[in-house]
């Protein structure tokens, strides 16, 4: 028997590149590593590393940009004829929930962290979770601005981690309503904001939460809260606008105006902005997204934002914001906060922090243009359109402003992603309801 | 005194033996009817162990006493006793008509005579495939064995070849058989390329393919997909025999599919743009509406694509498809072997070089190999031996089929684009539609060098004549280095001043076998054989790579010159098997056969609760022709019924730790992190395969007609599959035992000796295999796991075969408006909306039947042989259809069938209206539109050879010389409209993902000349 037992031990082999899940949440160092891992997932190409923003811009192309690449999947999004098996759509959904599960694991095991660090770690995990739910609900559900938020469906909400391989009923839940999803987002982000420190940059801090919250409230049409969150960032973060405009992009460190930025280096990180928006001469694909004259015509010839677009020869223009591969990706810039505050103040007739004209001029003048004497709401939105071009805000702004895109009404079924077919199949079509029109 | 006497007698006898006069005799053993020399015939002095065997020319040399009686025997011949008179002893043996039946068949941990088999084993002799100019022995086996389906993914050399024995046994775990060379299970893992291409099959004596469970069960957990036992050549005692073989040949693609030429491209593209404009309500021929139109967009692109030339004048007409292929592809080989020995020592040694240029630009394969097989009788009881091979494979690789830079994707480029600019530089994007693979060919390289060492050392001790113990220690070591460099203008190196990568892979497989064998005949009636032992196998692989950019000049291609090291990694993989096995065979009266075997296997890939499995098998046979009521039959010479049942297991192919919940390393902000990578399944257990086999072996007319018919049913249970789980778990798949699958089939083998005479011989063999694969059960509530990802349709459906195409059924074109139509779920109503289309089973990638038909004819030293091979009843889906057969959805050049497009109301065609720019209803998403019948019949091999008569050879001191011309894939008959029906695109090939085409290279057509010399 001893003979058999000693041979038998030779079958006990442990993995060398992975750790068993039981061993993950056992120490302060490990939970911090898991938090860093959560950022890695959120920064992947399928999510904040480029695709979330690409989808927004392609849906909101409206003749200003064209998808000319070979991939069918973005092409379907550009053409608003997305099939339910679109693999880009599928992978974005899956990757977002992967990030959410890691965040849920961190939140559930927060007790293993050093007492002093628990607030920050939990805050960052909540931030990332809230951010993911916000991105999901914007793409996979009707816009908040379409109303019926307590009956229109949002996304599935999961707040507990998966352990020991249990695929439980909690994972096969129906979609929450849009209102419930937004409340989850607000709850996560406001709690996160109260727990996190003032630091910001490549990791989320208090002002990243405030900035994303200002986007959330803007989507909901809650201008007072949007204004207050934006104002908080402008007043208290200490961030300042770079000048000229081009200095806000293609950086190898966070710029002075980055509230939240993804670090990309030659050794680390994925830059899918570069992949699709830049050209082969800079190591990208073949310039999959072309900028059309219709967009270039938006700018004053003196606008330094116009100068950032470049001609590949033969009159094909591309965005210079994403020219180079190993450059940081801004996810939230201070100039957006000025424009959000300006818009909200204008609509509310208030001047919290500053007069809307001043906020717009702060951004306008930085673009190398002379100050405006007065602004209308259209001026503010026009400035926003130019300032934030191709950074992933386009369709969400159009939807909240009830603007049509490429002939589709702001609340058209075609402007909402289908729930990936694999999810409907895995959860069950009677539980996970498909979006209308698919 | 009485006790001493026998000793004295023995002493006298022993010494007397030495005292008697010895004489050296030589001779030749031949077939009494044909006069052919018989190789490896045994010559033994009656009543002694003194003996030898004939060499390749049928001759032998032996030292004997005068007047000794020789027993001369050879497989398939009636043994003969000859009394030595003089020094020259020529013996002619009469055929017993049982040549096939007396054949030695290699089984796990032993051998058997074919007549005594109770299981199903297909044997292919090394000599049958010897001169085949292919890199992988599996390709040489194609069409030669019933129930063995061989399919090369594409026509790249040294790359993937699928081999399925009796259908697909698994969904996620491995579907490949276990390969065992001289008792050592070898690894099929590799860093790049195909690990089996490292094997020089000119060293192979035989391939024995264990198909049914009773044959394979001795390999227990490794045998669910069958076992291929490869036995290398061994030396024979007698004169040292030298053999030199050399060959030279040319390679071509089997088929080119053809694309639009420049004039067609321009005209159809403009038509597509105009159609899209018309849908938008724009008339682009009106100068006022031209600006901003699709036509303007398209014509600007035409200008861009035509480089220095003018597309309006059609100045350029480039056939890009031809540029994907190397028009100077050759094969060459030379190998040298020597074998011989005496009654104590036997050796075989060889050295071989083989080179094959792939048909694709940049693809080639070279192999240097050497082998030493040595066996030494240390004493009368103890035998020691070593079988050792060393191979160096050097491959020039090309990217997988879905990469822009793979040569075949060159077909997407526009025929109006010249290959080179006026300075002679090859055009690249943006002049070419996409990155030009030709630039990667001229300015890049991917060289892979593998050192492979497979071998074993064994010792065998005979306790008694009936009991021996054998111990084997085997190794399989692979050491592979891939060196890649892509210049400044290539897709990888563009924008980063070059890209370089170095990959290193090492696989080590250690194997120990220890077993006892007992073999005895009791009372001339009871034959008993028993084997019992243990085996342990440990596999380790390590992989590391490093890659960098920013090379100062393109001629400095090693990473030492890289200005920026971008990254690197290293990782390892470990697994182990521990097994105990036993087998007992019993034969009564030479006609009743029984066999019982069992194996306990432990595998490290399962958790401690589920890691051991027990795999038993039983089988029985009845040789009816030995019974009195049949033994007198003139017509029927052999008849055997056999049946078997066995259980085998599968623990390969789904990772080393699939049962664990895992977190792995990641990086953000140059700081290490942990991310969840795998969901746990503590219940994961062995995938088990039950197989019954009922067979009949027969021979008629003194076995001039012989064959086998088998029926089998193989049922796999506890199928392992990465079942989709809701993403809300944080994971997309979980490895679980979900269901059951069945393969049922019939195999028919027929061998005939049509003509046997001294001058002319003609034999034929036919094998037909019918297999029906069916999924019986999937995870409880799921009966369909659809696979439609927009490009492919391979799905899993209960009641259907694995990987059937399940998706929308194309309903042709609406004659009114040129829209592509699909059937809705009712199967009658049509819709132009892909999302409203119903889902149907629109094809099956699993063949219903495979077949081989071979003939060998000999006339006075002229040999002519040919082998047809066929695959029937399967479909292939072109995943590239959405690009190349897509009505100019984009600027990719189109297949010629697009000329039949819908043009005006009333047109009846199945090619929709051309529409540039993804204008919906163009039918380019995955559907039956791109599913095609892929039956084919292929002239796999045809050879004409001439053996120079020995009368001439003697003068030049040669023992044999053969000139031949041979061709592979010379002719293919198929309706498949793509490049080649034998296809499964490499980047996604798997158990479920079968029958897909995606810019996959056609197979290689080869014609070679060769010379074999023996001396």
Q: What is the SS3 assignment for A405-430?
A: ECCECCCCHHHCCCCCHHHHHHHCCC
Q: Do A34 and B673 touch (CB under 8 A)?
A: yes
Residue A20 C-alpha, separation from nearest chain B C-alpha, in angstroms: 5
> Collapsing DSSP states into helix, strand and coil, what is residue B499?
strand
Residue B906 structure tokens = 């009333």
Nearest C-alpha neighbor of B432 from the set B523, B304, B522, B537: B304
Among B residues 571-590, those touching chain A with beta carbons less than 8 Å apart: 571-572, 574-578
Note whether A127 and A196 are within 8 A (CB). yes
Dist CA B149 CA B175 (whole Å):
12
What's the whole-number average pLDDT of chain B?
A: 91
What string of DSSP letters covers B713-766? Answer: EEEEEEEEEEEE--GGGT-SEEEEEEEEEEEEEEEEEEEEEEEE-SSEEEEEEE
Q: Flag whether pLDDT at B628 surpasses 90.
A: no
Q: Which residues contact A280 (CB under 8 A, 6 or more apart)?
A: A286, A287, B428, B429, B430, B435, B491, B494, B495
d(Cα A124, Cα A138) in Å, to the nearest integer? Answer: 21
For residues B505 and B478, the answer to whether their CB atoms sit within 8 Å is yes
Which residues between 647 and 686 in chain B have a beta carbon less than 8 angstroms from any beta carbon of chain A?
A: 656-657, 660-682
More confident residue, A364 or B174: A364
Of A16, A83, A172, the CB nearest to B726: A172
Q: Which two tokens stand for residue B826?
A: 């009712």
Confidence of residue B14 (pLDDT cuts 50, 70, 90): very low
Element (H, E) at A99: helix A87-108
User: What pLDDT was estimated at residue B98?
Assistant: 66
Q: Do the bridges between strand B178-181 and strand B184-185 make them parallel or antiparallel, or are there none, so unpaired?
A: antiparallel
Q: Looking at the complex, does the CB of residue B883 fall below 8 Å from at least one CB of chain A?
A: yes
Nearest-CA residue of chain B relative to A36?
B673
**Closest to A335 in 3D by CA, of A366, A373, A356:** A366
Contact call for A156 and B576, based on CB within 8 A: no
Question: Do the domains B100-235 and B4-96 match in fold?
Answer: no
Q: Which helix (H) or strand (E) holds B146?
A: none
Q: How far apart are CA A46 and CA A28, in angstroms?
A: 29
Helix (H) or strand (E) holding B594: strand B592-603
Mean pLDDT in residue range B321-330: 96
- The overall pTM is greater than 0.80: yes
- What's the rounded Cα separation, in Å, for the pair A59 and B110? 68
pLDDT digits (tens, 9 = 90+) for B947-975: 998 888 888 888 889 999 999 999 999 99
| Preceding amide of B430 cis, omega within 30 | yes
Write the DSSP assignment of A287-306 as a string of letters: --EEEPHHHHTTS-TT-HHH
Taking an 8 Å cut-off on Cβ atoms, the answer to whether A70 and B574 are in contact is no
Low-confidence residues in chain A, pLDDT < 50: none
Contact (CB, 8 A) for B566 and B547: yes
Average pLDDT over residues B621-635: 87
- Residue B741: closest CA among B774, B772, B718: B774
The secondary element (H helix, E strand) that includes residue B356 is strand B345-357
Structure tokens at A376: 């209308």
Distance from CA of B437 to the nearest CA of A (A): 14
Pick the closest to residue B396 from B352, B445, B330, B326 (CA basis): B445
B674 vs A7, A24, A162: nearest CB: A24
Q: Which chain B residue shows the shortest CA-CA distance from A288?
A: B434
For residue B600, the surrounding DSSP H or E stretch is strand B592-603
Q: Which residues of A touch B892 (CB under 8 A)?
A: 70
* Host H or E run for residue B956: none
Chain B environment of A43 (Cβ under 8 Å): 668
> Which pLDDT score is estimated for B50?
77
Show Cβ contacts of residue B282 under 8 Å, excluding neighbours closer than 6 positions. Answer: B289, B293, B294
Give the residue from B894, B910, B818 showing the smallest Cα distance to B274: B818
Task: Determine whether the interchain pair B668/A269 forms a contact, defined as Cβ–Cβ distance below 8 Å.
Answer: yes
- Let me know: does B324 contact B410? Beta carbons within 8 Å: yes
* CB atoms B669 and A12 under 8 Å: no
CA distance linking residue A432 with residue A173, whole number of Å: 7
From CA B804, how far away is CA B801, in angstroms rounded? 6
Q: Which two tokens stand for residue B219?
A: 């390999």
Residues B635-668 have pLDDT tens digits of: 998 999 999 999 988 888 888 899 999 999 999 9
A21 with B670: Cβ contact below 8 A: no
CB-based contact (8 Å) between A202 and chain B? yes
Here the contacts of B780-787 (C-beta below 8 Å, separation 24 or greater) are B781/A428, B782/A425, B782/B723, B784/A425, B785/A425, B785/B723, B785/B724, B786/A421, B786/A425, B786/B839, B787/B992, B787/B993
Residue A18, chain B, CB below 8 Å: the answer is yes
Chain A / chain B CB contacts < 8 angstroms: 251
CB-based contact, A108 to chain B, within 8 Å: no
pLDDT value, residue B11? 44
- Whether the Cβ atoms of residue A75 and residue B918 lie closer than 8 Å to each other: yes
- For residue A327, give the DSSP letter: S
Digit-coded pLDDT (tens) for B108-151: 888 888 888 888 899 999 989 988 889 899 999 999 999 999 99
What's the average model confidence in pLDDT over B179-193? 91
Concatenated DSSP letters of B815-833:
TTT--EEEE-TTSS-EES-
Q: Are A423 and B726 within 8 A, CB to CB?
A: yes
Give residue A3's pLDDT.
65
Identify which of B678, B726, B791 has the shortest CB distance to residue A427: B726
A16–B contact, CB cutoff 8 A: yes
- What is the distance between the alpha carbons of residues B101 and B955, in angstroms, rounded to a whole number? 38
Residue B358 has a pLDDT of 95
Nearest-angstrom CA–CA distance, A153 and A176:
6
Decide if B430 and A100 are in contact by the 8 Å CB cutoff: no
Q: Which residue has the higher pLDDT, B780 or B370?
A: B370
Name, in order, each residue with C-beta under 8 angstroms of B670's C-beta and a sequence gap of 6 or more: A263, A265, A267, A268
Give B665 to chain A, closest Cα distance, Å.
7
C-beta separation of A101 from A161 below 8 A? yes
Q: Kindly state the DSSP code that residue A176 receives in the 8-state scheme.
A: P
Please tell me the distance in Å from A104's CA to the nearest CA on chain B: 10
pLDDT at B114: 85
Question: Which pLDDT does position A36 carry in this prediction?
Answer: 97
Q: How confident is the model at residue B933 (pLDDT cuts 50, 70, 90)?
A: very high
Task: Find the helix or strand (DSSP H, E) in which B77 lies.
Answer: none
Q: Which of B429, B572, B675 sits opposite A40 (nearest CB)?
A: B675
Pick the CATH number of B4-96 from 2.60.120.10, 2.60.40.1120, 3.10.180.10, 3.30.1130.10: 2.60.40.1120
Whether A323 contacts chain B with CB within 8 A: no
Closest Cα in chain A, distance from residue B433 (Å):
9
pLDDT bracket for residue B60 (50, 70, 90): confident
Question: How is domain B100-235 classified at the CATH fold level?
Answer: Ferric Hydroxamate Uptake Protein; Chain A, domain 1 (2.170.130)
Tally the residues of chain A. Answer: 438
User: Residue A96: its chain B contacts at CB < 8 A?
Assistant: 727
Tokens 């007065």 found at: A374
pLDDT in tens, B271-320: 999 999 999 999 999 999 998 899 999 999 999 999 999 999 999 999 99
CA atoms within 13 A on the CB side of B598: 3
What is the percent of chain B with per-residue pLDDT over 70, rounded to a whole number? 97
Structural domains of chain A ordered from first start? 29-162+169-277+328-403 (1.25.40.390)
Count of C-beta atoms within a 10 Å radius of residue B694: 16
ipTM of the complex: 0.94
Take residue A412 and report the two structure tokens written for it: 């058209």
Tokens of A101: 């599960």
Could you tell me the CA-to-CA distances from B570 to B504, B543, B591, B653, B906 in Å, in that order? 9, 5, 58, 21, 63
B98 - beta bridge partners?
none
The distance of B311 to chain A (nearest Cα, Å) reads 16
Residues of A in contact with B677 (CB under 8 A): 18
For A83, the closest of B536, B577, B790 (CB atoms) is B790
Q: Mean pLDDT check: name the lowest of B227-241, B481-495, B897-911.
A: B227-241
Is B193 in a helix, a strand, or coil? coil
Average pLDDT over residues B678-697: 93
Contact B727 A98 (CB under 8 A): yes
Predicted confidence (pLDDT) at residue B978 exceeds the cutoff of 50 = yes
Q: Which residue has the higher pLDDT, B506 or B789?
A: B506
CB contact under 8 A, B674 and A34: yes
Q: Which residues of A touch B611 (CB under 8 A)?
A: 11
> Inter-chain contact B729–A78, Cβ cutoff 8 Å?
no
Residues 6+ apart with CB under 8 A from B905: B815, B816, B817
Residues of A in contact with B496 (CB under 8 A): 283, 325
Residue B668 has its nearest CB partner, among A39, A97, A418, at: A39
B chain contacts of residue A184, beta-carbon cutoff 8 Å: none
Asked if residue B15 has pLDDT above 60, the reply is no
Q: What share of chain A is helix, strand, coil (3-state, %, to 5)?
A: 50, 5, 40
Query: In this predicted structure, what is the pLDDT of residue B980?
Result: 97
C-beta atoms of B790 and A286 within 8 A: no
Residues 6+ apart with CB under 8 A from B975: B932, B933, B935
The mean pLDDT value for B911-921 works out to 88
B920 contact A CB<8A: yes
Do the Cβ atoms of A314 and B430 come within 8 Å?
Answer: yes
Q: Give the number of other CB atoms < 10 A from CB of residue B824.
A: 17
Those residues with Cβ within 8 angstroms of residue B487's Cβ, 6 or more apart along the chain or in another chain:
B439, B443, B444, B493, B498, B554
Helix/strand/coil percentages in chain B, nearest 5: 15, 50, 35
pLDDT at A65: 96
Query: What is the torsion angle, in degrees rounded to the nearest 10, for the CA atoms of residue A183, residue A184, residue A188 and residue A193?
Result: -10
Q: Domain map of chain B by residue range?
A: 4-96, 100-235
CA atoms within 13 A of residue B713's CA, in its CB half-sphere: 2
């Amino acid at each position: 028997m001893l003979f058999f037992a000693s041979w038998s031990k030779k079958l006990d082999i442990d993995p060398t590149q992975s750790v068993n899940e039981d061993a993950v949440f056992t120490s302060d160092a490990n939970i911090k590593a898991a938090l860093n891992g959560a950022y890695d997932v959120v920064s992947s190409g399928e999510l904040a590393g480029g695709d979330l923003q690409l989808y927004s811009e392609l849906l909101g192309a409206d003749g200003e940009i064209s998808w000319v690449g070979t991939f069918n999947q973005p092409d379907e999004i550009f053409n608003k004829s997305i099939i339910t098996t679109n693999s880009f759509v599928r992978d974005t959904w899956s990757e977002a929930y992967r990030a959410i599960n890691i965040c849920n694991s961190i939140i559930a095991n927060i007790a293993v962290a050093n007492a002093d660090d628990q607030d920050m770690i939990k805050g960052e995990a909540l931030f990332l979770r809230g951010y993911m739910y916000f991105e999901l609900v914007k793409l996979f559900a009707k816009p908040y601005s379409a109303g019926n938020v307590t009956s229109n469906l949002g996304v599935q909400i999961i707040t507990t981690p998966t352990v020991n391989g249990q695929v439980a009923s909690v994972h096969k839940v129906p979609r929450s309503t849009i209102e419930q999803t937004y409340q989850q987002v607000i709850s996560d982000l406001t709690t996160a904001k109260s727990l996190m420190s003032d630091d910001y940059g490549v990791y989320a801090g208090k002002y990243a939460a405030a900035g994303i919250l200002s986007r959330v409230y803007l989507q909901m049409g809650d201008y007072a809260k949007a204004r207050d969150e934006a104002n908080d960032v402008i007043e208290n973060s200490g961030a300042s606008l770079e000048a000229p405009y081009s200095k806000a992009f293609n950086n190898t460190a966070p710029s002075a105006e980055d509230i939240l930025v993804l670090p990309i280096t030659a050794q680390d990180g994925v830059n899918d902005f570069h992949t699709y928006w830049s050209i082969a001469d800079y190591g990208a694909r073949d310039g999959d997204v072309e900028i059309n004259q219709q967009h270039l015509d938006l700018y004053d010839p003196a606008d330094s934002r116009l100068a950032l677009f470049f001609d590949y020869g033969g009159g094909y223009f591309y965005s210079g914001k994403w020219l180079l591969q190993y450059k940081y990706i801004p996810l939230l810039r201070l100039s957006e906060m000025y424009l959000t505050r300006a818009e909200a103040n204008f609509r509310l007739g208030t001047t919290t922090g500053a007069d809307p004209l001043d906020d717009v001029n702060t951004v306008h003048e930085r673009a190398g243009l002379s100050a405006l004497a007065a602004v209308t709401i259209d001026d503010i939105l026009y400035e926003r359109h130019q300032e934030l071009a191709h950074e992933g805000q386009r369709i969400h702004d159009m939807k909240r402003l009830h603007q049509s895109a490429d002939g589709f009404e702001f609340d058209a079924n075609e402007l909402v992603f289908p729930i990936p077919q694999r999810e409907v199949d895995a959860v069950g079509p009677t539980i996970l309801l498909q979006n209308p029109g698919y | 005194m009485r006790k001493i006497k026998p000793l004295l007698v023995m002493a006298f006898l022993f010494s007397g033996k030495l005292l008697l006069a010895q004489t050296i005799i030589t001779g030749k053993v031949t077939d009494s009817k044909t006069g052919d020399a018989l190789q490896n015939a045994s010559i033994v002095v009656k009543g002694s162990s003194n003996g030898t065997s004939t060499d390749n020319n049928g001759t032998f040399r032996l030292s004997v006493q005068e007047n000794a009686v020789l027993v001369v025997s050879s497989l398939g011949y009636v043994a003969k006793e000859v009394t030595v008179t003089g020094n020259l002893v020529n013996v002619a043996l009469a055929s017993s008509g049982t040549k096939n039946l007396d054949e030695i068949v290699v089984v796990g941990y032993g051998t058997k005579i074919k007549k005594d088999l109770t299981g199903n084993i297909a044997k292919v002799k090394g000599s049958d495939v010897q001169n085949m100019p292919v890199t992988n022995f599996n390709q040489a086996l194609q069409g030669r064995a019933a129930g063995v389906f061989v399919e090369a993914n594409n026509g790249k050399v040294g790359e993937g070849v699928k081999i399925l024995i009796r259908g697909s046994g698994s969904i996620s775990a491995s579907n490949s058989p276990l390969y065992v060379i001289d008792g050592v299970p070898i690894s099929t893992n590799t860093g790049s390329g195909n690990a089996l291409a490292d094997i020089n099959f000119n060293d192979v004596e035989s391939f024995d393919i264990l198909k049914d469970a009773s044959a394979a069960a001795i390999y227990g957990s490794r045998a669910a997909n069958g076992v291929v036992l490869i036995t290398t050549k061994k030396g024979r005692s007698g004169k040292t025999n030298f053999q030199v073989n050399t060959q030279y040949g040319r390679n071509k693609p089997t088929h080119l599919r053809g694309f639009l030429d420049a004039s067609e491209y321009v005209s159809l593209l403009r038509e597509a743009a105009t159609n899209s404009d018309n849908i938008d309500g724009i008339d682009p021929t009106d100068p006022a509406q031209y600006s901003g139109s699709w036509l303007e967009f398209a014509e600007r692109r035409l200008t861009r694509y035509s480089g220095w030339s003018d597309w309006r004048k059609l100045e350029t007409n480039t056939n890009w498809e031809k540029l994907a292929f190397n028009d100077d592809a050759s094969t060459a080989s030379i190998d040298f072997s020597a074998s011989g020995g005496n009654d104590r020592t036997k050796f075989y040694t060889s050295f071989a070089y083989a080179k094959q240029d792939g048909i694709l630009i940049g693809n080639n394969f070279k192999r240097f190999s050497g082998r030493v097989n040595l066996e030494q009788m240390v004493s009368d009881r103890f035998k020691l031996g070593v079988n050792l091979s060393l191979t160096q494979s050097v491959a020039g690789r090309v990217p997988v089929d879905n990469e822009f830079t793979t040569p075949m994707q060159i077909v997407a480029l526009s025929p109006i684009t010249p290959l080179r600019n006026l300075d002679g530089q090859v055009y690249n994007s943006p002049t070419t539609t996409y990155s030009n693979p030709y630039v990667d060919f001229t300015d890049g390289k991917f060289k892979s060098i593998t050192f492979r060492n497979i071998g074993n050392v064994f010792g065998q001790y005979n306790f008694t004549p009936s009991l021996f113990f054998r111990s084997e220690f085997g190794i399989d070591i692979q050491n592979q280095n891939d060196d890649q460099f892509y210049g400044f203008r290539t897709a990888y190196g563009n924008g980063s001043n070059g890209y370089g990568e170095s990959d290193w892979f090492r696989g080590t497989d250690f194997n120990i076998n220890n077993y006892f064998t007992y073999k005895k005949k009791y009372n001339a009636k009871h034959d008993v054989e028993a084997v019992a032992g243990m085996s342990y196998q440990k596999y380790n692989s390590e992989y590391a790579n490093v890659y960098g950019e920013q090379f100062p000049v393109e001629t400095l291609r090693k990473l030492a010159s890289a200005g920026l090291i971008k990254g690197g990694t290293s990782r390892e993989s470990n697994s182990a098997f521990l097994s105990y096995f036993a087998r007992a065979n019993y034969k009564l009266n030479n006609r009743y056969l029984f066999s019982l075997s069992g194996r306990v296997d432990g595998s490290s890939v399962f958790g401690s609760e589920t890691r051991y499995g027990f795999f038993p098998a039983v089988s029985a046979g009845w040789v009816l022709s030995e019974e009195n009521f049949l033994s007198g039959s003139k017509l029927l010479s052999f008849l055997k019924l056999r049946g078997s049942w066995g259980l085998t297991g599968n623990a390969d192919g789904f990772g080393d730790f699939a049962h664990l919940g895992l977190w792995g390393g990641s990086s953000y902000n140059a700081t290490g992190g942990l991310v969840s990578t795998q969901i746990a399944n503590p219940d994961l257990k062995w995938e088990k395969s039950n197989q019954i086999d009922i067979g009949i072996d027969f021979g008629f007319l003194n076995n001039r007609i012989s064959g086998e018919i088998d029926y089998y049913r193989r049922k796999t249970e506890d199928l392992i599959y990465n079942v989709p789980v809701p993403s809300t778990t944080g994971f997309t798949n979980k490895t679980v035992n979900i269901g059951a699958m069945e393969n049922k089939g019939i195999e028919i083998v027929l061998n005939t000796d049509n003509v046997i005479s001294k001058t002319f011989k003609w034999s034929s063999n036919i094998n037909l295999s019918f297999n029906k694969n069916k999924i019986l059960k999937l995870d409880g509530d799921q009966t369909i796991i659809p696979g439609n990802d927009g490009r492919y349709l391979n799905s899993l459906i209960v009641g259907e075969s694995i990987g059937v195409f399940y998706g929308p059924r194309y309903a042709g074109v609406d004659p009114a408006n040129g829209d592509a139509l699909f059937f809705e779920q009712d199967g009658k109503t049509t819709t132009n909306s892909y999302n409203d289309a119903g889902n149907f089973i629109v094809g099956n990638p699993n063949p219903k039947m495979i077949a081989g038909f071979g003939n060998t004819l000999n006339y006075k030293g002229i040999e002519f042989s040919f082998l047809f091979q066929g695959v029937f009843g399967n479909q292939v889906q072109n995943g590239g259809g959405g690009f190349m057969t897509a009505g100019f959805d984009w600027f990719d050049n189109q297949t010629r069938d697009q000329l039949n497009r819908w043009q005006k109301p009333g047109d009846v065609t199945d090619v929709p209206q051309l529409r540039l720019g993804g204008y919906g209803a163009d039918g380019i998403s995955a559907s039956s539109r791109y599913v095609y019948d892929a039956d084919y019949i292929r002239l796999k091999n045809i050879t004409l050879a001439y053996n120079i008569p020995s009368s001439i050879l003697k003068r030049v001191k040669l023992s044999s010389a053969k000139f031949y011309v041979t061709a592979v894939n010379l002719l293919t008959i198929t309706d498949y409209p793509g490049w080649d029906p034998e296809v499964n695109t490499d980047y996604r090939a798997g158990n479920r993902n079968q029958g897909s085409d995606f810019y996959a290279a056609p197979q290689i057509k080869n014609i070679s000349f060769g010379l074999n010399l023996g001396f």
